[in-house]
Structure 1
Amino acid sequence: MIYTPRPYQKLISAHELELPRAGVWAGMGMGKTASTLSSLDTLSLTENRPALVLAPLRVARSTWPDEVAKWSNLSHMEVRPIIGSADERKAAVRDRNAGVFTTNYENLPWLVDHLGDRWPFGTVVSDESTRMKSFRLGGSGGRRARSIAKIAHTKISRWINLTGTPSPNGLQDLWGQTWFLDAGERLGRTYTAFEQRWFRKGYNGFGLELLPSAQEQIEDRLRDLHITLDPKDWFDLKEPNVVPVPVELPVKARAQYRAMEREMFMSIGEHEIEAFNAASRTIKCLQIANGAAYVGGTDSEIASDVAPWVEVHDAKLRALESVIEELNGAPLLVAYHFKSDLARLQKAFGYGRVLDNDPQTIRDWNAGKIRLLFAHPESCGHGLNLQDGGHNIAIFGHWWALEAYLQILERLGPVRQLQSGYDRVVNIFNIYAVDTVDELVIARRAGKRSVQELIMEAMKRREI
């Protein structure tokens, strides 16, 4: 198949070729990968240094190499992932035939340290550049961004930021990403200067809020670096069909939930679960809303595969079962959050598959071989194409991060459906526990209100 760019893809490529350091804010599914590969192909005619693409692991491993294989007029490009064990990464770096290398953000510190003064890449593409948002001068911020910041403006001549969600948590997200384009010229030499110029403390003493006219000023300063493309301006999109699936907690579970809100601890059988602060409490409340809660007292255990948890109710599982029955065999992507969610989903629906690191799983889903696919938003977003496998998604476990939520929706969202030739509406089944933190999370994603503000409001309503 020949890559024939759409009009907006031509704009993306032209922008990337015109500016040595450019940002592309284009809605998910608008073909940023193919457009950028076309740009890199053109640059290779005059550039004698290879390009490096930074991306989430699955995207570095599969999406960029697969995109080259997809288009016959780009198939001459060799894309080499720098992933795997240390020996495998070293072997990949020694490949002299590849013009484009990819690696995941987690490998950045190793790569910079391993190459040292022998850094070969003239162009860097930061795919999903929000991964660089935490960068700060002076040694703070994310370790990955700090590692490459040392050479970003000395050994790297071209830089491209790609994202569909440049500021998912507010305009504060923009400084770190933009620094790699202009070294702080537009938004301030330091993040502190950026904050002091355009923000003030929130009225309740928590967080930051924009000063009047700050958004317009920030957007004006960034306009020459970025091209912004909204899918709604280019497609006749069918809006997703959001189907609320409210779940009433059983009486006993409701009492336990209320106890967590009121007293910051609860007991289930012989297990005592304690939340040490307000943040922990919201996590525990979300767990109970889903149907299980971790025990042991430390939130760090949540990340462990063997962290102990106890089941509180199965109301959401029953609701999901009803959704599956309603779909009558149509494939369904299910978003979960906690490992306890996944364990319970697998037990309740033994035929379901988990989106893992095996590329064959994605191929099976897109081939219609998987009826039920469980996926965590943090591992399912960023560049994965799942639209061929279906157009139905259920949100079983809710979380505050807007970007992760948008990313998993767009794996099979309206733009991808339309681009793949499907005339069908995307159905989003929002399974939520009534009168719980689930509702606060949904409200947070729907607007721009702070988590702290929503929680305080809820506490006042319940007179806790």
Structure 2
Amino acid sequence: MNAHADPYRAFLEAKIRLAPAIGFEVDDGEIHPLLKPHQRDIVRWAVRGGRRAIFCAFGLGKTFMQLQSVALVLAKLLALEGKAGRGLIVLPLGVRQEFRRDAATLGLHVRFIRRSDEIDGPGLYLTNYESVRDGKLDPALFDVASLDEASVLRSYGSKTFQTFLALFAGVRFRFVATATPSPNRTKELIHYAGFLGVMDTGQALTRFFQRDSESAGNLTLYPHKEREFWLWVNSWACFVQRPSDLGHSDEGYALPPLKVTWHEVETNLADAGEERDGQGILFRDGARGLMQEAKERRDTLPARIARMAQIVAAEPAAHRIIWHDLEDERRAIEKALPGVRSVYGTQDLDAREQTIVDFSDGKFRLLAAKPVIAGSGCNFQRHCHKAVFVGVSHKFNDFIQAIHRIARFLQAHTVEIDIIHAESEREVVRDLMAKWAEHDRLVATMSDIIREYGLDPLNFTAELTRAIGVERIEATGEGWQVANNDCVLEARGMADNSVDLIVTSIPFSNHYEYTPSYNDFGHTDNDGHFFAQMDHLTPELIRILKPGRLACIHVKDRILFGNVTGLGFPTVNPFHADCIAHYRRHGLAYLGLIYVDTDVVRENNQTYRLGYTEMRKDGTKMGVGSPEFVLLFRKVQSDRSKGYADDPVQKRIEDYSLARWQLDAHARWRSSGNRLLTPQELMAIDPKLLPKVFREASAGRIYDFETHLRIGEALEARQRLPSIYMALMPGTNREDVWCDVNRMLTLNTEQAAKGREQHVCPLQFDIVDRCIARWSEPGELVFDPFGGLFTVPMRALLAGRRGRAAELNPGYFLDGVKVLEATQRKMATATLFDLGEAEGWLTAEGAAA
């Protein structure tokens, strides 16, 4: 069936979205003839896209390309729309002279400004990052903008970085250019995509990155998404390392040899200090964290400065950059090298910039600077090919940028880099080298992609299209049938009114992606897009469900982070309410919901939204913990004159007591005069057992908030209150609130024990068991369209039902089949106890004997 005949296939193909092109077509004749072939290709590509990133190696001519791209957009605006527009290029300090020089070469007139009131009509303007950061210049006054060496924004901190990018949201055409976009910090590339308007940063993080269930901030690129991620990046960014990447000659673009010498100075390893409790430390450990790193550098400063002085004295006539990070280091450098000139943060901006320009022009020999000040954008290769780092740090981007101020194309000499570090900083050196190797690996990956596909994203659309579809694989056993398949397609092949109960945990919109396939429901842009795909599944589920029978849908509300929403504080997306609306819209009758309590302390460890410290700063930021829900829907029965299902779930009186019916039918509170356990009694209990003991104890007694609070504070005062989970979670006797679900009782426990891949959000056995027992009968079919590790069919088998499921992820499918086969073998193996019970000879007395 082709896409035109199958709306679902068409929906999946529409997911293939590369960066849109909103710019203008440009002929070679419109580009200045001085631009080299690779520069012309990139300018043509950038102007056509309108919002693009130029990630080209040092010395390939980013200045020319930016000037020409911005100028061509302005020219097109005038010619095609009759608008005399304004263009802005934002620069690091010390780069203004380079742009003025290259602009004059291209016959362009540029003006440098620092404030909005300096704008004088249409044209091309330059400014520094500081002017935009400090609110002196409003980017919204321009039609096209380009950020030169945009990676410098990282030095301002993530908050300023986000704010800065938001300032350009109203600029129609946007470019970024840098030689070091840090591909080994893939999350940083997401920020560039957000700035360019290619994809919302939160959406991109969800699509390509997996979340650590223990820590909200730990995001890593999905291994199975790496290829797709780099193809997507290549649709809006060009990583070009040499002209030959685009099919041109590399003549004149040979990188100079790089000689790196590491100098280790001794550290007094025995001078290790004391622990927080006063206990002496036997040996000094390696620096860990920025504060320890800075302290270590101060303690070893004399030895490092002495080695620097030796290096400089060996060639007194050589021009050198002395790179440092601390003000104490700068003052020590100035004292040891009387002829050195420094640039630093408190200097007048014009004076600082002039010093950088003078060194670039060879007017003095020694420049001392921090990489965050002079490490980006400056071209020092004309008169300098030697540099000394008086220390090391974990900040790889600052390090690599600083090196390439002199190690770049058009450098005529071997570049000599001397790096001084203390003996105790070996771990920092290893980390720096590992990041360097990873940087080179990922840059090579991007070069391979651009060599294979060029600058036209249409060239690799076909490869991405191949991620649609799955070759169905079926596995069966006694009482179960599962398939590795798209759940929509699997449900299509099932007979009408053939399923007795649906129990499933649907994807929580685009919160997770489970496979690299476009069939994945998590591979959606937002809630609206997710429910649009659900619109293809839900009618099929209703068709195969027997009239009058239930669909039990497990969901959870989603946490929206403030840096994504722009609100500055986390909020809650009431996803369960959207699900209720979705299923009701398709005709299912809503019967209510079951609350499944979760641990608020663990939730905070995962989302950082209920933090104790933040609560003390401002209590208005904190809401409440988010439970999970089981939504109950019923397919309307055929005979609407009666409320019974076409095939009712009947209970025998000997199996279903009046007392149980009352608990099932009524969410009633039960109270008694029994007291809660005292702090002294609770302190005698293992903290790991506290949650269960307290929940059970509090469920059957009169609840008193103040008493609960005093118990917690008493435990806290004695350091017996855990901080990684909630030990004193109150119990309840409401039947629609499940507070005793064992959060760890999932198939992930077995997966972890066997070293297999764990499911991102496994479904607890307790939830499945209760649904199956309450809304199905023995021998009936229970179906899960999002099978995962096949918890539902496995628990159905154990409950005497039949199980069926679909799962798109082939790894989960194979592991789930093993679970079902093991369950089937276990059920088929009769133990002595089973046989004894069957024959009636195993009695209590016999067992005791």
* TM-score with structure 2 setting the length: 0.41
In the aligned structure 2, how far is the partner of 1:434 from the partner of 1:24? 39
Shift of 1:263: 6.2
1:158-197 mapped onto 2 (5 Å cutoff): 158-167=173-182, 170-184=185-199, 189-191=200-202, 194-195=205-206, 197=208
Shift of 1:404: 1.0
Tell me the amino acid that sits aligned with residue 210 of structure 1.
L
Equivalent residue for 1:156? Answer: 171
Deviates more, 1:364-373 or 1:439-448: 439-448
1:425-444 mapped onto 2 (5 Å cutoff): 425-436=414-425, 438-444=428-434
Equivalent residue for 2:85? Answer: 49
In the aligned structure 2, how far is the partner of 1:106 from the partner of 1:40? 20
* 2:259 counterpart (241, 246, 251): 241
* 1:285 counterpart (292, 296, 311): 296
In the aligned structure 2, how far is the partner of 1:150 from the partner of 1:442? 33
Q: 1:19 to 1:282 in 2, by over 3 A?
A: same
Deviates more, 1:169-178 or 1:358-367: 358-367
Instruction: Please tell me whether residue 214 in structure 1 is matched to residue 211 in structure 2.
Output: no
Shift of 1:429: 0.6
Unaligned runs of 5+ in 1: 83-88, 268-276, 292-313, 450-464
* 1:382 counterpart (376, 387, 409): 376
In the aligned structure 2, how far is the partner of 1:41 from the partner of 1:206? 41
In the aligned structure 2, how far is the partner of 1:53 from the partner of 1:440? 37
Q: What is the RMSD of the two structures over their aligned residues, measured on CA atoms?
A: 3.5
Q: 1:393·1:428 contact (CA, 8 Å) conserved in 2?
A: yes
Shift of 1:111: 4.8
Shift of 1:446: 3.1
> How many residues matched?
382
* 1:146 counterpart (152, 163, 166): 163
Q: 2:190·2:204 contact (CA, 8 Å) conserved in 1?
A: no
Instruction: Please tell me whether residue 338 in structure 1 is matched to residue 326 in structure 2.
Output: yes
Unaligned runs of 5+ in 2: 1-31, 78-83, 245-249, 281-287, 440-849
In the aligned structure 1, how far is the partner of 2:437 from the partner of 2:409? 22
In the aligned structure 1, how far is the partner of 2:117 from the partner of 2:233? 39
Tell me the amino acid that sits aligned with residue 446 of structure 1.
W
Shift of 1:62: 3.8
In the aligned structure 2, how far is the partner of 1:134 from the partner of 1:172? 16
Shift of 1:216: 1.3
Equivalent residue for 2:68? Answer: 38
Tell me the amino acid that sits aligned with residue 233 of structure 2.
L
Instruction: Please tell me whether residue 259 in structure 1 is matched to residue 273 in structure 2.
Output: yes
Deviates more, 1:363-372 or 1:34-43: 363-372
Q: List per-residue Cα deviations over 1:362-397 (Å, max 9, x = no partner).
A: 343234332221111000122111112210001102
Q: 1:193 to 1:96 in 2, by over 3 A?
A: closer
Name which structure has the greater RCO, CA cutoff 8 Å, separation 6+: 1
1:387-426 mapped onto 2 (5 Å cutoff): 387-417=381-411, 422=412, 424-426=413-415
Shift of 1:333: 0.9
Equivalent residue for 2:124? Answer: 99
Q: 1:355 to 1:337 in 2, by over 3 A?
A: same
In the aligned structure 2, how far is the partner of 1:245 from the partner of 1:232? 35
Identical-pair percentage: 20
Q: 1:248 to 1:264 in 2, by over 3 A?
A: farther
Q: 1:26·1:228 contact (CA, 8 Å) conserved in 2?
A: yes
Bigger radius of gyration among the two: 2
Shift of 1:327: 2.2
In the aligned structure 2, how far is the partner of 1:90 from the partner of 1:210? 40
Tell me the amino acid that sits aligned with residue 123 of structure 1.
V
Q: 2:94·2:354 contact (CA, 8 Å) conserved in 1?
A: no
In the aligned structure 2, how far is the partner of 1:109 from the partner of 1:365? 27
Q: 1:264 to 1:336 in 2, by over 3 A?
A: farther
Q: 1:226 to 1:193 in 2, by over 3 A?
A: closer
* 2:59 counterpart (20, 29, 41): 29
Tell me the amino acid that sits aligned with residue 91 of structure 1.
D
In the aligned structure 2, how far is the partner of 1:264 from the partner of 1:323? 42
Instruction: Please tell me whether residue 110 in structure 1 is matched to residue 125 in structure 2.
Output: no
In the aligned structure 2, how far is the partner of 1:158 from the partner of 1:367? 34
In the aligned structure 1, how far is the partner of 2:309 from the partner of 2:134? 44
Q: List per-residue Cα deviations over 1:129-155 (Å, max 9, x = no partner).
A: 3356799xxxx9534543552662xx3
In the aligned structure 2, how far is the partner of 1:49 from the partner of 1:204? 47
Equivalent residue for 1:65? Answer: 100
* TM-score with structure 1 setting the length: 0.72
Q: 1:32 to 1:288 in 2, by over 3 A?
A: same
Q: List per-residue Cα deviations over 1:286-337 (Å, max 9, x = no partner).
A: 3323x1xxxxxxxxxxxxxxxxxxxxxx221221122112224211111011
In the aligned structure 1, how far is the partner of 2:329 from the partner of 2:387? 16
Equivalent residue for 2:702? Answer: none
Q: 1:68·1:79 contact (CA, 8 Å) conserved in 2?
A: no
Q: 1:80·1:98 contact (CA, 8 Å) conserved in 2?
A: no
Shift of 1:202: 9.7
In the aligned structure 2, how far is the partner of 1:265 from the partner of 1:28? 51
Equivalent residue for 1:78? Answer: 110
Q: 1:200·1:210 contact (CA, 8 Å) conserved in 2?
A: no
Q: 2:254·2:409 contact (CA, 8 Å) conserved in 1?
A: no
Instruction: Please tell me whether residue 123 in structure 1 is matched to residue 112 in structure 2.
Output: no
Q: 1:202 to 1:167 in 2, by over 3 A?
A: farther
Tell me the amino acid that sits aligned with residue 273 of structure 2.
A
Q: 2:88·2:144 contact (CA, 8 Å) conserved in 1?
A: yes
